Chains A and B, each alone.
Chain A
Amino acid sequence: MNILMYLLALLGLLLVVICWQQAQKLGRQQRTTLRLSLVVVSLILGWLSFIAFQENEGTEFAWFFMLFHFSWLAWILLASKAHVKFNDKTVKTVKSVAAEHNWLYKSSILLLAGPVALFSSILIALCISKLFIAELANQWVLTFIIMPIIWGALATWFAADEKRLRPLLITLLLTAVCYGWLL
């Protein structure tokens, strides 16, 4: 591994984040041209960083380095610009707040977001995979990958929607369609 290349790639990523921050600042002043040019510069820098990572570690690793190294560089930039505002106000606290819903409602959400959403997500994922992918191995790997996303999304929808019936009906409809199609 060439450490210099690695460091250059990181520097490029840091500059990308700085460009975005400056572009955002300018946005408040409505300086669109300068803002757009910063975005273009950031794209070029990002591409150069990718090339540097790629030269060093190969294409597969380079993608993940690009995605993961952004985080800590942005956090460092954020921390360097942050200020601590000391406050001596005392906050009045309460011991409890009124519960939004009873335990029956909460248990029903748990049931819907758990086994019901899991079952539906598997069928929906399988249906999508079979619809778009021809090869058996790819079909199943896509099923394994999209199933957790669909499950998580359905579970959150069940927990989010005030009208419990809406997500339930749509989920059941989708499940029935997928089941029918798969059979």
Chain B
Amino acid sequence: MNIFKKLTPSQSLVKQALRGHAWMGLFWAALLYLICFSGALVVFFPEMERWEQPLADEYSHMDAGAIEQSLVNIQQQIPHKLESLYFIYPSEDMPRSHVSAVLEDKTQTIDTEWWLDSSGQLVEPVSAPWTEMITDLHIYLHLPHTLGIIIVGMLGAMMCGLMISGLLAHPNLFKDAFKLRLGSNRHMEQTDIHNRLSVWGLPFFFVVSLTGAYIGLFGVSMTVVDWMEKDHDSKQIIAEVFGGDPAINEPVQNINMTQIKQDLLERAPEASPIYLVVQKPGSEEQYVEVAASLPQRLIYSEIYRYHSDGTFIDYQHLSDGSVGRQVAYSSYRVHFGHFGGMATKILYLLLGLVMTVITATGVNMWFSKRKIHNHWSVLWRAFVWATPAATALAAAFSMVLSLSAVVVFWFALVVLSLGIFAFFNQSWKWKGVAEQNYLMGLKYLTTITVVFLVFCHGFKHPHQPWYWWFSLCMILLSAMPLFEYRKLIQTAPKTAKFKSPISVN
């Protein structure tokens, strides 16, 4: 008997899986869409931050003396007790460095993060409200952080569930693997797009959802540790998984960066430093951690620890510790696509955008199968296209008029989504404009806003070629939905009558 037939789930299982898949998908669709959309963009967050706040002085290297100077400068700038002090090295993504301080008193609201020039002087506070808005949307959905990260983690878990039910609900997975029927029937078309994109992209979607859920639900799991584990508490488990902190007690002294740099170069010549942390600065417990990435390794970094005078303490064994530790510390790069250079980032952007298409077509399938055309169906379509428009408007209003990016985003998202009702309800119908035109208007609004923003923001930075290259990429990305992709695909040989095909949104 054919092995595929043996593996095919029964009809009743398929029906049940489909039901569960539809329920879960519909219930979480809007939030999943926001997470996937923001996640696709967040892959480029260092570039977005650089674009949002261009600086004249960019460099790829900073000497040890300048780093020491920058640490002294930030401590003079912030006369409060500090928990830790971060120095972030210049990198290929962000060819400039910055310092940031973590205050012991979290209620203080002062600038704690500053860009540096190549000599280690503080240039200006880090301020990228739009990038922050998108990263916060992806990580916390703009909710209070503890609640937000749990909900986002939960959505990762739900996506894992959706993948399992999606596979069970798809008995012709292999038979239909190369089938794409466009145009003939809206339901069939949406189904084919949804299934082909999700089946072929499954490894990526699974890995990203799982790592997202793992990152988001870490706090919840830790709460359970405290409750269930008799022998260990959550702090001990964290120390066991990620490595514990050294106990230091020595007189306060200045940090000897030259010695640290020299030792690291001898100890791990292939390591390239990402950031440096001064723990408990100005106290007797002060010590330095240098996080450095290792070539061809997925772990975010190895962490090398030093006394203030540059004497080596130990390293955290993130690269050669237990398998669990290495896996846990690899989740960041795997989730955000920060490995393998620019090609991987572009791949992640593409696959992330495909996840948004899968979410959108999933809901479209549900409506088109039942042939429903009501307030909910048009609201969903408007929401899908209002999200990029609201993101672009948030960028424009925050960068040009200094308004809150979060407020503008949600205001625009709600108004533009609800705006479709003016074109849906016959009694309100405004100048006979159809819903399709409103949706097209939203796509144009996104592109026009991005073009406007690029030039308004760019007036301040006309001589920076990188700024204009990235701007061009942003314009092209925002204009992608305007392109009629069907023109690239052949028309079926027997075409009786020509009429505009059913739109895919």
Which A residues fall within an 8 A CB radius of B? 1, 6, 20-21, 24, 57-61, 64-65, 67-72, 74-75, 77-79, 81-88, 91-97, 109-110, 113-114, 118, 121-123, 126, 135-145, 147-149, 151-162, 182
Contacts and interface: CB of A to CB of B under 8 A. Distances in A.
Contact of A84 (B174, B322, B370, B489): B489
Contact of A159 (B19, B180, B295, B340): B19
A138 B322 contact: yes
B324 A153 contact: no
A143 B221 contact: yes
Nearest to A162: B16
A172 B93 CA distance: 49
B157 A152 contact: yes
Central interface residue in B23, B183, B220, B341, by most chain A CB within 10 Å: B23
A70 B354 CA distance: 14
Contact of B204 (A71, A78, A92, A141): A71
B497 A57 contact: no
A171 to B, nearest CB: 14
Contacts of B330: 60
Chain B interface, >50% SS class: helix
A170 to B, nearest CB: 14
A80 B180 CA distance: 10
A155 B24 contact: yes
B370 A97 contact: yes
A16 B486 CA distance: 26
27 contacts: A64-B340, A65-B340, A68-B204, A71-B351, A75-B354, A82-B489, A83-B491, A85-B182, A86-B501, A94-B371, A95-B372, A122-B221, A144-B214, A144-B221, A147-B213, A148-B156, A149-B157, A152-B158, A152-B160, A153-B160, A153-B161, A153-B164, A154-B161, A156-B21, A159-B20, A159-B23, A162-B19
Interface string B484-504: 001011111101011101100
B461 interface: no
Contacts of B16: 160-162
B350 interface: yes
B244 to A, nearest CB: 11
Interface of B: 16-17, 19-21, 23-24, 27, 153-154, 156-165, 174-175, 177-178, 180-186, 196-197, 200-201, 203-204, 207, 209-210, 213-214, 217-218, 220-221, 224-225, 228, 232, 237, 240-241, 295-298, 321-325, 327-328, 330, 334, 339-341, 343-344, 347, 350-351, 354, 370-374, 486, 488-493, 495, 497-499, 501-502
Contact of B185 (A70, A87, A147): A87
Nearest to B185: A87
B210 A57 contact: no
The 6 closest A-B pairs by CB, nearest first: A152-B161, A58-B296, A160-B20, A148-B213, A141-B324, A152-B160
B220 A118 contact: yes
Given A123-B228, A147-B213, 12 more contacts: A58-B296, A71-B201, A82-B490, A86-B501, A113-B24, A122-B220, A138-B324, A141-B323, A144-B328, A145-B327, A149-B160, A160-B20
A87 to B, nearest CB: 5
B327 A70 contact: no
A122 B153 CA distance: 14
B214 A145 contact: yes
Contacts, number: 238
Contacts of A67: 203-204, 207
A79 B489 contact: yes
Nearest to A58: B296
A174 to B, nearest CB: 16
Contacts of A58: 295-297
A81 B158 contact: no
Nearest to B498: A86
Contact of A21 (B178, B323, B373): B178
Contacts of B197: 75
A6 B343 CA distance: 10
Nearest to A121: B157
B328 A160 contact: no
A17 B483 CA distance: 27
A155 B161 contact: yes
B24 A83 contact: no
Given A60-B297, A83-B492, A156 B339 contact: no
B89 to A, nearest CB: 21
Nearest to A125: B221
Contacts of B184: 85, 87
A2 B188 CA distance: 42
Contacts of B203: 67-68, 70-71
A69 B207 CA distance: 14
Contacts of B23: 109, 159-160
Contacts of B175: 24
Nearest to B486: A84
B501 A87 contact: yes
A158 B21 CA distance: 11
